[in-house]
Amino acid sequence: MSDTSPKTSRRHFLRGAGIGAAFVLGGCKELSQRPWVQDTLISAEQLTKRVQRLFAGSQALAPEFAKADIASSFRANGTTMPATNDYQAHAAGGFKDWRVEVTGLVDRKLSLSLADLRKFPSRTQITRHDCVEGWSCIGEWTGAPLKLVLAAARPKANAHYVAFRCADPMDDLDGDGIPESSFYYESLDLVEATHPQTLLAYQLNGAPLPVANGAPVRLRAERQLGYKQAKYVRRIELVERFEDIGGKGGYWENQGYNWWGGI
């Protein structure tokens, strides 16, 4: 999806949601007759969110593809090698000491190794990644459903958002003591975070994640645009409000992208 103007977003969305919506509505015709769908005063962001949540259903699945559709090489974008000594030492050691922390508003904080993540029942899905820069790529992801990981941490009743803290600094800094606010981050609400296709993915096309695509663990939230798919995840933090995450809820959101990155 290369254009986020209201008309284009809506058209893209309605096309993309057709498969999921069909099961719930018995077709898209009914959808287009809903008066509010015609209401161009509703922002594209609100519209796509409302369509996905109320009509496609909050748990509707993103389209999945066949093995034959998988791209021969999955394109990489943004950071392709985090520029810290710490990350590069982990990479050199095969990430054997990597931990994904689960913190914030939980009853039980977690510190998960890759072996721990592999103990969760895994899910494998072939999906299309859509970057707002105008390219798409189909790949097969395997990982732990985030819902199961969150359940293990027992979120408190006031936990409403899930932030993903990544290992790549976006400011031109190196050395130790880089402030956490300099690193890539993203966030989802609990509906997206607990969606069945939302994974902490550790494999791409049956092999461990390449560094360029977010090794050793990245987020896959398949109803969301590319920038929401946080790579190099090292901490997951449950919070009550947006202000607790910092900025506008994500690195690209702070540069003007919508927080709601629904496709």
- Binding stretches for ligand MTE (CB under 6 A): 75-79, 131, 166, 168, 184, 212-214, 226-227, 229-232
User: Which amino acid, residue 109?
Assistant: K
The CB-of-26 to ligand MTE minimum distance in angstroms stands at 34
Q: Is 130 helix (H, G, I), strand (E, B) or coil?
A: strand
When the beta carbons of 190 and 212 are compared against ligand MTE, the nearer one is 212
CA distance 12 to 48: 10
Q: Which does 166 bind (CB under 5 to 8 A by kind): ligand MTE, Mo ion, none?
A: ligand MTE
When the beta carbons of 136 and 182 are compared against Mo ion, the nearer one is 136
How many residues make up the chain in this entry?
263
Query: Closest by alpha carbon to 151, among 121, 125, 177?
Result: 121
Backbone angles phi, psi at 134, to 5 degrees: 105, 25
When the beta carbons of 168 and 192 are compared against ligand MTE, the nearer one is 168
CA distance 152 to 224: 24
Full strand arrangement of the beta sheet holding 233-239: 110-112, 100-104, 233-239, 161-169, 183-189
User: Is 131 a residue that touches Mo ion (CB under 5 A)?
Assistant: yes
Kindly calculate the radius of gyration of the chain based on its CA atoms and give it in whole angstroms: 18
The CB-of-23 to ligand MTE minimum distance in angstroms stands at 28
Nearest residue to ligand MTE, scored by beta-carbon proximity: 78
User: Is 76 a residue that touches Mo ion (CB under 5 A)?
Assistant: no
**Site string (187-226) toward Mo ion, x via CB under 5 A:** ---------------------------------------x
Binding residues vs Mo ion (CB under 5 A): 131, 226-227
